[in-house]
Amino acid sequence: MDTLGIYNGIAEDGHTGEHTNEHTDEALPESAAEPGTEALETDQGQENTQLGLAAKLHDDVTPPSEDTGETQRLGERKYLHDVSVTASPKPRKSRPFAAWLCFVLGMTLISLCTVGAFVGLVWSQGNWESMKSLVTDYKSSLPFKARTSRYFSALFYYITSLTSDIEPGSQSDPASDAENHVLRHSLLDNEGENLKYFAIEIGSGLTIANIDGNLSSVIGEDNMPILPPGYDYCWYFDGKEVWVFDHGKPVDIRRLDSGYRGLVPDPVTDWVRRSGNPDDLASIRVLLAVKNVLVPNPYGYSDYYYEQRTLAIAGRLYFGVLAAGVLMFAYGVIKRRDKHIFDRKLAAWSGRLWFEVKVFLSLLVALVAYGVLYASWDWYSYVHWWSWLPIAVLISAGILLFALFWFYMMLADLIINRKRFFSHNSVNSLLTLYRNYEKKYPWQKMMLSRVYALIIAEAVLCLLAVIFILGFFGGSALLALLSLLLVALGVFLLYRYLRRYSETVNDLGRLVDHIRRIKDGDMETKLLVAADSDIHEAAQNLNTIQEGMSRAVREKLKSERMKVDLITNVSHDLKTPLTSIVSYVELLAKEEGLPPNARDYVAILAQKTERLRHLIQDLFDLAKATSDNIVLDLNKLDLARLINQALADMQESIEDSGLAFRVKLPDEPVYIVSDGAKLSRVLQNLISNTLKYSLLGSRVFIDLEVQGKEALVTIKNTANYEMDFDEEEILERFVRGDRSRSTEGSGLGLSIAKSFTEACGGRFAIKIDGDQFKVELRFQLAG
Amino acid sequence: MTKLESGQRNQGRREVTRAVEKLKVLVVDDDKEIVNAIAINLRNEGYEPLKAYDGLQALDILNTHEVHLIILDVMMPKMDGLSATLKIREERNIPIIILSAKSEDSDKILGLSMGADDYVTKPFSSRELMARVKSQLRRYLTLGDVNTKKRNVLETGGLCFDLDSRTLTVDGEPVKLTPTETKIVELLMRHPGRVFPAEEIYERVWEQPAYKVENTVMVHIRRIREKIEINPREPKYLKVVWGIGYKMEKI
């Protein structure tokens, strides 16, 4: 948990260099087991070796790649499968870019098409059918109907305005005629062959037409139009209402999905609104027929023709672009691992930008894109709108592409760099700069100058804020905003300082704890401190020291263990021949008829064999006690009683020795938790030691007292020889108290006593003062 | 020594009355000299030794001969002593004495739990080994003696205290005890496994208030041990519980 905290700390602070961030990001999934070490070991060296290794592995199969760890990981992952593929090596360097480009382009095109479709849908009032027919069937498309409607309305307007003009006097006005003529030409006649029109006021016989013929040849008996060959589509006003005929059949223009709603004029209502008599229209007939196959007009600009052509091309283009977009997008999605590599590159690049810069640029991009899009699609009211279309499409596509690219990059940055997206800002950069600067100084100066720097910075900010706030009273709102910003900055700086301070104190505390742990013998736990911590170097050094100590201790333990193993094995192997020796010496001793001197020899043999046996057993016991695998049988026992028992057990030899034993034991039991058998061995050894090496007739003092929470046993005696060695030396194995005597004992008694005491949880000390030999045993009281 | 010799004499007398042929003891050790030494000692004691040098040979001999006791080394080639013990115990109930260079308590416990009856550590004195052989054989051969069951007795392992006659026998062999020793043995054998502090023993045996009696009690305990234990240094029955008191092991 702790280590995770450290990791977060790094990511949050954002001054560990971008390299680190990338690394931790990638390394995490692989080494989730030990995130702490990852976070700690942000040394570039180590990372490089890791990557280098991966790259080496990778190089064996595929050409080297300049990409980040991701590629190499990919490479490693594919290592097993790609052997056949890599027979013909492909330059993989461009692949991430291609995948990324496809993804972004595809995304742009799809969004462009979606936006286009949406715009069209709004434009066509939600009629899907007419949208579809833009490409396939121009005549049922909305622009066609709108255009026809416009022509029809114009024609209707001409005929009605002409008749209303002539009606009072039947004198035709040449100017008005000319005007109508021009109007007619400019609008209707531009269509040329494509449009046949015929408008007549039956009463006056006034006709506007490009169809040769009279009323009877155009309008049949049944008041239905007779269309010229090749013209199967027509709009017709029969004096009451407007009809639309397609291939001779009337179209139900009132249907919602007919696509005619709002397009077909209602001439009668219109006429009445213009305060005319509806009966006046009864004599009006207007017919507008559109050619089945639209052709270009050599004498004018046929909107029908060009509109159809443009729409057909645009439609194909639209679907083509959509398909291309989908394909590219799909490729990008399939190759998303490659794409991801480029995403990382991009994120690495954009991660260098300050947060403020990114916000500013994003706002700018959004604003510009909106403005350009708005401006480029504000042309639909123009008649020749299709001539604008390609330009508008190109501009929109361009700006959309750019905007999408930008926001995509920002998103990738946010997802990949996470907190760093925000934390890499000008303030933090300045702080990092300051940190790098302060590292030059010794630790104490660094910590102090940090406080000073904070105070100075706060003071400057306060001063500026006050100046700006004075400006606010002078009437400038911008200055007030600035002063607020400065105050916020000041608070932020203070917060950062306090957080840093608490981190440092925290780390220092952990350092102190860790030092105590090392003192207590914990050589394994490492002190993990964030790489940017103020005490990082100290922590690293401490870890190195700890490692050194731990190694030394391990070496020592190992050699100790080897020694113990050796002793165990040797004493074990000694026992087998010794068994034979013991057996045959005994057999020899039983032999009758041996000469007296031979019997003496046998006795000596028996005696020495017995000594050897003791020596081997002592050696074995000592080895056992100093190795870790000693088995203890722990019980709560009375130390006073145990001393009594030990003395009682050796009573005979004590009496034989001629020494006076002064035993002082407390009346109350002294309870300790220990292994009684092993302690009795300790006491036996110590007592027999005093018996062997005490001055004849001297006193031996054995005391037991309770000191605080400890029981202290002291055994004092006066040596019968000069002790020309110190406390340490006497415990060295095989160094015997009296070097001149070598006939009794193994010389291991004291060592065994010490080892057993310590194995039982006690402490063993020897003090030599002139001829005074003193052994102190200390045990923790039970309970 | 006197006790052992008398026991041996007794044993010999009983054997003569039982059967003419000698009791057979199988000695197994990969060290031939050790086997020979043990064999000599066994022959001196009036047994017929059989020799084997690994576990498999031992099993072969067991199949072809009638054997009354096995002395088995632990560390041997082909089949070690513990495996052999397990194998033998599948069919036979004869006494097994294990010989081993390992002197740890855990090794002893392991050996005994495998089915061995006794555990002797190397290097051993032949006197002690012979005493243990005799003790085991005595128990093995007198097993099922109906007379002992009926009586009013306290028993633990090979120890048997007759409450009526107030006499103690070890593996059927009577032991001479002083009245105080008898009282101590009776007290301890009435509660086998229980640890008695010296004061309690003193108060109940001497029936006087106890004051600094550790020495007195210890002296008696040591004397009893010398009478009932084969190796008083490593007692089987009467044990000192250091720092607490004394007890009779419950076997």
Domain locations along chain B: 17-142, 146-248
For A644, the closest chain B residue by CA position comes to B214
B146-248 — its CATH code? Answer: 1.10.10.10
Q: Nearest C-alpha of chain A: how many angstroms from B144?
A: 35
Q: What is the ipTM of this complex?
A: 0.79
> What gap in Å lies between CA B59 and CA B52, rounded to an integer?
9
Q: Do B240 and A680 lie within an 8 Å CB cutoff?
A: yes
> What gap in Å lies between CA A375 and CA A381, rounded to an integer?
13
Do residues A175 and A184 lie in contact, with contact meaning Cβ atoms separated by under 8 Å?
Answer: no
For A672, the closest chain B residue by CA position comes to B243
A625 and A641 fall within a common domain:
no
Asked if residue A43 is part of any domain, the answer here is no
pLDDT of residue B150: 55
Q: Do A649 and B240 lie within an 8 Å CB cutoff?
A: yes
Which stretches does DSSP call E strand in A402-530? none
Q: Which of A579, A637, A647 sits opposite B123 (nearest CB)?
A: A579
What integer best gives the mean pLDDT of chain A? 77
Buried b (16+ CB within 10 A) or exposed e, A286-318: bbbbbbeebeebeeeebbbbbbbebbeebbeeb
B74 touches A: beta carbon within 8 Å: no
Question: In 3-state terms, chain A is what percent helix, strand and coil (to 5)?
Answer: 65, 10, 25
Mutate which of B41, B242, B247 to test chain A, going by most A C-beta atoms within 10 A? Answer: B242
What is the arithmetic mean of pLDDT over A41-54? 41
Out of A360-369, A738-747, B236-245, least confident range: A738-747
3-state class (DSSP) for residue A420: helix
Buried b (16+ CB within 10 A) or exposed e, B169-189: bbbbbbbebeeebbbbbbbbb
What percent of chain A shows pLDDT beyond 90?
A: 10
Domain that residue A589 falls in: 557-629
B171-195 tens-digit pLDDT: 878 889 999 999 999 999 999 889 9
A291-335 tens-digit pLDDT: 888 888 887 778 788 878 877 887 788 888 889 989 988 988 888
Residue A76: band (very low, low, confident or very high) from pLDDT cuts 50, 70, 90: very low
3-state class (DSSP) for residue A768: strand
Q: Which of B38, B106, B240 sits opposite A631 (nearest CB)?
A: B106
A182 and A223 fall within a common domain:
yes
Write phi, then psi, for A747 (nearest 5 degrees). 80, 5
Contacts of A639 in chain B (CB under 8 A): 243
pLDDT of A69 > 70? The answer is no
Buried b (16+ CB within 10 A) or exposed e, A659-677: bebeeebeeeebbbebbbb
Residue A188 is given by DSSP the state T
Asked if residue A446 is part of any domain, the answer here is no
pLDDT of residue A712: 93
Contact map slice: B 15-34 vs A, CB within 8 A:
31, 33-34
CATH number at residue A678: 3.30.565.10
Residue A113: band (very low, low, confident or very high) from pLDDT cuts 50, 70, 90: confident
A367 and A239 fall within a common domain:
no
| A262 torsion bin: left (phi>0), alpha (psi -120 to 50), beta (else) | left
Residue of A481, A548, A536, A483 lying closest to A511 (CA atoms): A536
The CA-atom distances, in angstroms, between A590 and each of A323, B43, B122, B127, B130 are 114, 14, 20, 11, 14
A277 and A366 fall within a common domain:
no
Contacts of A578 in chain B (CB under 8 A): 122-123
Both structure tokens of B65: 């001969």
> What gap in Å lies between CA B8 and CA A299, rounded to an integer?
151
pLDDT of A776 > 90? The answer is yes
Q: How many CB atoms are located within 10 Å of the residue A689 CB?
A: 19
A610 and A641 fall within a common domain:
no
Q: How many CB atoms are located within 10 Å of the residue A737 CB?
A: 21
Q: Do B243 and A641 lie within an 8 Å CB cutoff?
A: yes
CATH architecture of B17-142: 3-Layer(aba) Sandwich (3.40)
State how many domains chain A has.
4
Write the single-letter amino acid at A691. Answer: L
Q: Nearest C-alpha of chain B: how many angstroms from A587?
A: 8
B81 touches A: beta carbon within 8 Å: no
B110-137 tens-digit pLDDT: 888 888 888 998 888 888 899 899 888 8
B61 touches A: beta carbon within 8 Å: no
Q: Cα A120–A122–A127 angle (5° rounding)?
A: 80
A627 touches B: beta carbon within 8 Å: no
Largest Cα–Cα separation, chain B: 63
Q: Do A679 and B222 lie within an 8 Å CB cutoff?
A: no
Q: Nearest C-alpha of chain B: how many angstroms from A619?
A: 13
Q: Nearest C-alpha of chain B: how many angstroms from A12?
A: 59
A727-740 tens-digit pLDDT: 777 776 555 445 44
Write phi, then psi, for A222 (nearest 5 degrees). -85, 20
Q: Do A580 and B106 lie within an 8 Å CB cutoff?
A: no
Sorted by sequence, the CB contacts under 8 Å of residue B2 that are 6+ apart come out as none
Do residues A700 and A660 lie in contact, with contact meaning Cβ atoms separated by under 8 Å?
Answer: yes
pLDDT of residue A706: 92
Q: Do A642 and B243 lie within an 8 Å CB cutoff?
A: yes
Out of A427-431, A501-505, A539-543, least confident range: A427-431
pLDDT of residue A5: 40
Sorted by sequence, the CB contacts under 8 Å of residue A384 that are 6+ apart come out as A303
The CA-atom distances, in angstroms, between A412 and each of A99, A349, A422, B85 are 15, 11, 13, 75
Helix axes A128-136, A142-166, angle to 10 degrees: 100
Both structure tokens of A295: 């052709």
Q: Do A651 and B219 lie within an 8 Å CB cutoff?
A: yes
A288 and A372 fall within a common domain:
no
Write the single-letter amino acid at A72. Answer: Q
* Length, in residues, of chain A: 783
Write the single-letter amino acid at A607. Answer: Q
Pick the last residue of a domain from A406, A424, A442.
A424
**Residue A772 C-alpha from the chain's centroid:** 72
Instruction: Identify which of A6-10, A117-121, A324-328, A379-383 has the greatest average pLDDT.
Output: A324-328
What is the arithmetic mean of pLDDT over A126-137? 65
A294 and A380 fall within a common domain:
no
Asked if residue A90 is part of any domain, the answer here is no
A727 and A709 fall within a common domain:
yes
A165 and A104 fall within a common domain:
no
A579 touches B: beta carbon within 8 Å: yes
Q: Which of A575, A617, A648 sits opposite B215 (nearest CB)?
A: A648
Residue of A264, A201, A206, A205 lying closest to A234 (CA atoms): A264
Sorted by sequence, the CB contacts under 8 Å of residue A477 that are 6+ apart come out as none
Q: How many CB atoms are located within 10 Å of the residue A437 CB?
A: 12
Residue position matching structure tokens 């090749």: A230
Radius of gyration of chain A (CA): 54
Contacts of B222 in chain A (CB under 8 A): 649
Pure H helices in A627-675: 639-649, 651-657
Residue of A20, A231, A265, A48 lying closest to A145 (CA atoms): A265
pLDDT of A399 > 50? The answer is yes
Residue A687: band (very low, low, confident or very high) from pLDDT cuts 50, 70, 90: very high
3-state secondary structure chain B: CHHHHHHHHHHHHHHHHHCCCCCEEEEECCCHHHHHHHHHHHHHCCCEEEEECCHHHHHHHHHHCCCCEEEEECCCCCCCHHHHHHHHHCCCCCCEEEEECCCCHHHHHHHHHCCCCEEEECCCCHHHHHHHHHHHHHHHHHCCCHHHHHCCEEEECCEEEECCCCEEEECCEEECCCHHHHHHHHHHHHCCCCCECHHHHHHHHCCCCCCCCHHHHHHHHHHHHHHHCCCCCCCCCEEEECCCEEEECCC
B219 touches A: beta carbon within 8 Å: yes
What percent of chain B shows pLDDT beyond 90?
A: 24
For A570, the closest chain B residue by CA position comes to B101
3-state class (DSSP) for residue A738: coil
Q: Is pLDDT larger for residue A67 or for residue A409? A: A409
A355 and A288 fall within a common domain:
no
pLDDT of B6 > 70? The answer is no
What is the arithmetic mean of pLDDT over A641-661? 89
Mutate which of A584, A645, A682, A684 to test chain B, going by most B C-beta atoms within 10 A? Answer: A645
A283 and A158 fall within a common domain:
yes
Both structure tokens of A555: 């070496």
Helix axes A95-123, A303-334, angle to 10 degrees: 140
Q: Is pLDDT larger for residue A479 or for residue A366? A: A366
Do residues B88 and B94 lie in contact, with contact meaning Cβ atoms separated by under 8 Å?
Answer: yes
> What gap in Å lies between CA A765 and CA A714, rounded to an integer?
10
Do residues A540 and A507 lie in contact, with contact meaning Cβ atoms separated by under 8 Å?
Answer: no
Beta bridge partners, B170, equal B159, B173
A434-470 tens-digit pLDDT: 888 888 888 888 888 889 989 998 999 888 888 887 7
Q: Is pLDDT larger for residue A13 or for residue A542? A: A542
- Give the end-to-end CA distance of chain A in Å, rounded to a whole number: 36
pLDDT of B1 > 50? The answer is no
A619 and A639 fall within a common domain:
no
Do residues A38 and A31 lie in contact, with contact meaning Cβ atoms separated by under 8 Å?
Answer: yes
Beta bridge partners, A700, equal A661
Q: Do B37 and A641 lie within an 8 Å CB cutoff?
A: no
Helix axes B214-228, A639-649, angle to 10 degrees: 50
Mutate which of B122, B128, B130, B221 to test chain A, going by most A C-beta atoms within 10 A? Answer: B122
Residue A228 is given by DSSP the state P
